[in-house]
Structure 1
Amino acid sequence: MTTGGALDDGRTRRRRLAVVAGLVLAAALLACVILALGMFHVKHPEGAAAAALPDGSSPAGSALGLPDGASAAGSASAIPANAEAGALAGRVGELVITCALAAVVEELLFRGLLLGWIARLGRRRGWRAPVLAAAVLSSAAFALLHGLPAPGMPWPADGLAWASIALKVSQALLFAIAMAGLRLESGGLGAPIAVHGAFDLLYFGPSVLATGAFPLTYICASPAEWAALGASVVVLLCPAALAWRAMARGVLPYDDDQD
């Protein structure tokens, strides 16, 4: 009877982990689609191909420094195909490596060291819900860190920029709670690292592949960025709620620290 109950608990936990991971990745995929559509619209505005400057040259040709009457088509044909393929491969490599490193470092720091340290501290201090408190505090630290401007960049100067930062902090908080739930339910860091890396790949993929660089700021600069960020926040509400329920039970890791 006990064995059957343990098996049922294990199946329930695996289903819950799959739901949380699936919803987190769905948020990233939805944001990825919105960003990709927005970038396609920017790269291919209506009438751009037919537009011309007063002197008869095309905007693309002028931007590339081509002679009057020249278009970007002739220049593009001169670019070797293997050079374009190499540039794309470089962007893909940078995307994968950066997302993998970020996932490993952030999960080790926030869901490994910080969450574990606060949970053990709370147990020693006799907190009522040390695991839940550890998850909340480590998630709050993760969210606030994602609201800081990049080194060398000024703080936002207008209300709209602050609104996008607040939305980004909300997204990071919901994401961190979901990752804390994955860490506590799975008992290790493998699941949150994998989901975190996949989320970043999907979320940042369109912009990195289109521009060749990660964004320097989380301030939204276009309707597509606002839509992608808002969509991910909405979808992340469900996995964060599921993770919160799991963490509220105050069990799983760190039980060996109890007297």
Structure 2
Amino acid sequence: MKITNVIPSGLGAPLGWVLVAALAGGVALGWASGASGPWQISHLGELLALASESAVVEELLFRGLLLWGCLVVARRWECPRSTGLAVVASSLVFGFLHLVPEGPLVAPRADLCVAAIQAVLKVIQATLFGVVLASLVVRSPWAARPMPACGVALVAPAIVHALFDVLYFGPLLLMGGTLPATYLTGNIADIVPMGVSTLLLFLAVFVTARADERPTC
């Protein structure tokens, strides 16, 4: 399968900015963690496994079931700009669910003001990321095809999602750090990676909106 059949034309630049956002955020996250040990190459397999699993599961749920469900509802209600509405709605759900932690919602002894800023930034960051990935789906020539062929439209988002996680969390894990159980650490240094990646993701969404390709579904 040719890559041009998976990634719609006009979205190469936005995807480039998404990966730049991931790498910049990852470098900042490694700095914020204070990890300075030698690179742990043995953690590479763990990183790839986590990124791949997260990408496949989340894309099936959010750019698969949720996005297409939003499209069906928006069109049934004859909403203006139904495709854009579905993209934004599914991305907002994706953004807010990133606040659901593996452990406590807020890290123990966290600065609550810092944690609140982190919560806002995380929702914005994940929502912007979701908008770009959802745009990949709705602009894909495969999206309008019947099942199961339409599932090919999820290939590009899954690949980009996995690459984003590898670049964002890679420096932290490879330097011997560990992933926090919650994004709301209350550590003021942790605002930096979120802020840097969020600003660059705003640019990615702006470039996406300016892309010449129109949605195909």
TM over 0.5: yes
Q: Is 1:132–1:247's contact at 8 Å kept on the other side of the alignment?
A: no
Q: Is 1:180–1:243's contact at 8 Å kept on the other side of the alignment?
A: no
Give the Cα–Cα distance (whole angstroms) in 1 for the partners of residues 209 and 167 of structure 2. 24
Give the Cα–Cα distance (whole angstroms) in 2 for the partners of residues 146 and 217 of structure 1. 9
Can you give the 5+ residue segments of structure 1 that lack an aligned partner in the other structure?
1-9, 45-83, 254-259
Q: Which residue of 2 aligns with 1:206?
A: 171
Shift in CA distance, 154/168, structure 1 to aligned 2, threshold 3 Å: closer
Q: Is 2:59–2:157's contact at 8 Å kept on the other side of the alignment?
A: yes
Q: Is 1:17–1:185's contact at 8 Å kept on the other side of the alignment?
A: no
Give the Cα–Cα distance (whole angstroms) in 2 for the partners of residues 139 and 26 of structure 1. 20
| 1:177-234 deviation per Cα after TM superposition (whole angstroms, max 9, x unaligned) | 1111122223411111111110000101122223453221112454542221111011
Pick from 80, 86, 100: which aligns with 1:134? 86
Give the number of the structure whose residues are more often helix, by fraction.
1
Can you give the 5+ residue segments of structure 2 that lack an aligned partner in the other structure?
144-152
1:57-206 pair list within 5 angstroms: 88-89=41-42, 91-154=43-106, 158-186=112-140, 187=143, 188-206=153-171
Code of the residue aligned with 1:216 in structure 2: it is A
Give the Cα–Cα distance (whole angstroms) in 1 for the partners of residues 205 and 155 of structure 2. 18
Q: Which residue of 1 aligns with 2:15?
A: 21
Give me the TM-score of the superposition, normalised by structure 2. Answer: 0.79
% same residue: 35
Q: Which residue of 2 aligns with 1:240?
A: 205
Query: RMSD across aligned C-alpha pairs, in angstroms?
Result: 2.8
Matched, 1:217 2:182: yes
Partner-residue secondary structure (3-state), 1:127: coil
Q: Which residue of 2 aligns with 1:252?
A: 216
Q: Give the paired residue count.
A: 198
Larger radius of gyration: 1
Give me the TM-score of the superposition, normalised by structure 1. Answer: 0.67
Shift in CA distance, 190/176, structure 1 to aligned 2, threshold 3 Å: same
